[in-house]
């Protein structure tokens, strides 16, 4: 039986904002999604005020103002950089480390089982705090699903004081019997409803399902979930990143777009960014999808979704090739007379660039590769959007809102916070 821990940062985006801004301590803070649309992270104080995950900011604006809630635009550069530091702080406490999401890491604790693992986990949390200021919780259990559940218990139940070790079967059962089925990792709305119809409302009841029944109610996914709750691992801590299957750059607009030129400008920028992302990961794509659509929340308004899938032959990470394909797609799918609010580029059939199938007549790819390298260097050194194709346009009215974005405290030397000594 293995020993797996999940360490999860509390209110991660808010904690990152607080790391460099003392004025946010103790006050309610909300971090908004891109375009300042929804609440996607809330401090404990904001949660206490009833701000829910995904609440549209513009619908709760009055309440936020009334209670003095600070709203920050999301700053993914900061959160990504802080994650590196969290992972670095955690590494010496585990034999294997799997970065699961921007604020969660699975750890293999098998070599440490002779120690008191609660002490071990607390030492790890202290180190993360010292290195990053970020508070965390830890769940320990024999499988990933149980470690996730243990982590949630550590967060919710003050009894655990931030670390829940559920290796003991009796304690584990006690927690599972009180844990809502709908909150189990892998149980979403649809599955929760099906389970409820069968009278299954706790994690303990899911654990007690027959595997065959689980499979017929859900799919092989639910069957594996039941096994994991029974303590039988269906997935291990994986250090190596799996090969990426797809990649996307999509954004809502700050204001509706009505004409094709403006839309092309936005799509051009997304295509350039998509190429940059491919090159950063050393990949090429075989297929590009471009899409754009109207505001689906707006009833009564004309709705249209345009999309085109384009093959990329040869497979490429060349931004200008992506741009050309995307433009053809937009031209083919365009309809006049609608107010478009979002567009995006998706890339599929990703392959490592050095394994890319060669084609005849692909010409002097070396020259274009050097151009792309130069482009990445310029934009890396002087800031994004320093060198852009003219197609991207210079008036960017559509660009998303981010009215309260924190500075690049950790990734731009000119924005590093200063500590002034008396």
Partner DNA sequence: TCTGGGGTCCTAGGACCC
Gap between the Cα atoms of 237 and 75, Å rounded: 29
Nearer to DNA, 112 or 213 (CB): 213
* Locus of tokens 């990426």: 244
Measured CA to CA, the distance from residue 183 to residue 296 in angstroms comes to: 28
If binding is defined by CB under 7 A, does position 58 make contact with DNA?
Answer: yes
- Least spacing, CB of residue 22 vs DNA, in Å: 26
Q: Which of residues 393-412 bind DNA (CB under 7 A)?
A: 400
Q: What is the DSSP string of 154-215?
A: HHH-GGGTTEEE--SHHHHHHHHHTSBGGGSTT--HHHHHHHHHTT--BHHHHHTS-HHHHH
If binding is defined by CB under 7 A, does position 245 make contact with DNA?
yes
Name which position in 17, 45, 104, 321 contacts DNA (CB under 7 A): 104
Q: Build a one-symbol-per-residue string for 106-145: x at contacts with DNA by CB under 7 A, - elsewhere.
A: ----------------------------------------
Report the candidate in 136, 348, 96 with the shortest Cα–Cα distance to residue 235: 96
Exactly one of 135, 162, 186, 389 binds DNA (CB under 7 A); which one? 186
First-residue to last-residue Cα distance in the chain? 56
Q: Give whichever of 120 and 191 is closer to DNA, judged by the CB atom.
A: 191
- Residue in 114, 159, 170, 188 binding DNA, rule: CB under 7 A: 188
**CA–CA separation, 329 vs 124, rounded Å?**
50
Q: Which of 167, 171, 169, 145 is nearest to 159 (CA)?
A: 171
Sole window of 32-40, 118-126, 330-338, 377-385 interacting with DNA (rule: CB under 7 A): 32-40
Supply φ then ψ for residue 42, to 5 degrees: -140, 140
* Residue 82 is a binding residue for DNA (CB under 7 A): no
Q: CA-based Rg of the chain, rounded to a whole angstrom?
A: 24
Q: Which is nearer to DNA, 297 or 361 (CB)?
A: 297
What does the alpha-carbon distance between residue 261 and residue 393 come to, in Å, rounded to a whole number? 9
Among 341, 392, 406, 410, binds DNA (CB under 7 A): 341
Give yes or no for residue 88 binding DNA (CB under 7 A): no
* 83 contacts DNA (rule: CB under 7 A): no
Tokens 């559920």 belong to residue: 166
How far apart are CB 249 and DNA at their closest, in Å? 5
- Rounded CA separation 302/300 (Å): 7
Among 248, 260, 310, 408, the residue binding DNA under the rule CB under 7 A is 248
Question: Exactly one of 44, 50, 52, 56 binds DNA (CB under 7 A); which one?
Answer: 56
Binding residues vs DNA (CB under 7 A): 33-35, 37-38, 40, 54, 56, 58-59, 100-104, 148, 184-192, 219-221, 242, 244-252, 255-256, 277, 295, 297-298, 309, 341-342, 344, 400
């Amino acid at each position: 039986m293995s020993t797996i821990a999940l360490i999860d940062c509390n209110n991660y985006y808010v904690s990152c904002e607080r790391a460099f801004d003392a004025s946010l301590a103790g006050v309610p803070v909300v971090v908004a999604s891109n375009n300042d649309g929804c609440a996607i992270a809330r401090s404990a104080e904001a949660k206490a005020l009833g701000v829910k995950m995904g609440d549209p900011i513009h619908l709760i604006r009055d309440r936020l103002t009334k209670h003095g809630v600070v709203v920050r635009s999301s700053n993914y550069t900061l959160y990504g950089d802080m994650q590196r530091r969290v992972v670095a702080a955690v590494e010496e406490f585990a034999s294997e480390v799997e970065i699961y999401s921007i604020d969660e890491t699975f750890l293999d604790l098998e070599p440490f089982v002779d120690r008191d693992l609660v002490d071990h986990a607390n030492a790890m949390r202290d180190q993360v705090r010292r290195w990053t200021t970020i508070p965390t919780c830890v769940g320990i259990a024999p499988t990933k699903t149980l470690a996730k559940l243990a982590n949630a218990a550590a967060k919710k139940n003050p009894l655990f004081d931030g670390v829940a070790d559920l290796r003991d079967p009796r304690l584990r059962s006690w927690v599972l019997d009180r844990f809502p089925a709908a909150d189990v990792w892998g149980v979403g709305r649809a599955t929760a409803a099906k389970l409820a119809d069968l009278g299954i409302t706790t994690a303990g009841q899911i654990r007690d399902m027959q595997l065959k029944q689980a499979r017929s109610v859900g799919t092989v996914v639910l069957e594996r979930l039941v096994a994991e709750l029974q303590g039988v691992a269906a997935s291990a801590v994986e250090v190596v990143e799996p090969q990426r299957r797809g990649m996307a750059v999509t954004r809502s607009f700050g204001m509706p777009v009505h004409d094709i030129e403006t839309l092309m400008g936005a799509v051009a920028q997304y295509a350039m960014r998509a190429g940059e992302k491919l090159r950063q990961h050393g990949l090429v794509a075989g297929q590009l999808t471009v899409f754009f659509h109207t505001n689906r929340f707006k009833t009564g308004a004309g709705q249209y979704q345009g999309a085109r899938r384009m093959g990329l032959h040869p497979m490429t990470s060349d931004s200008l090739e992506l741009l050309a394909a995307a433009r053809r797609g937009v031209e083919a799918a365009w309809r006049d007379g609608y107010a478009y609010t979002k567009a995006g580029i998706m890339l599929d059939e990703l392959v490592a660039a050095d394994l890319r199938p060669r084609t005849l007549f692909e010409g002097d790819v070396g020259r274009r590769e050097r151009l792309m390298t130069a482009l990445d260097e310029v934009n890396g050194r002087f800031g994004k959007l320093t060198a852009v194709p003219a197609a991207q346009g210079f008036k960017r009215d559509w660009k998303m809102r981010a009215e309260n974005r924190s500075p690049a405290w950790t990734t731009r030397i000119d924005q590093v916070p200063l500590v002034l000594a008396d």
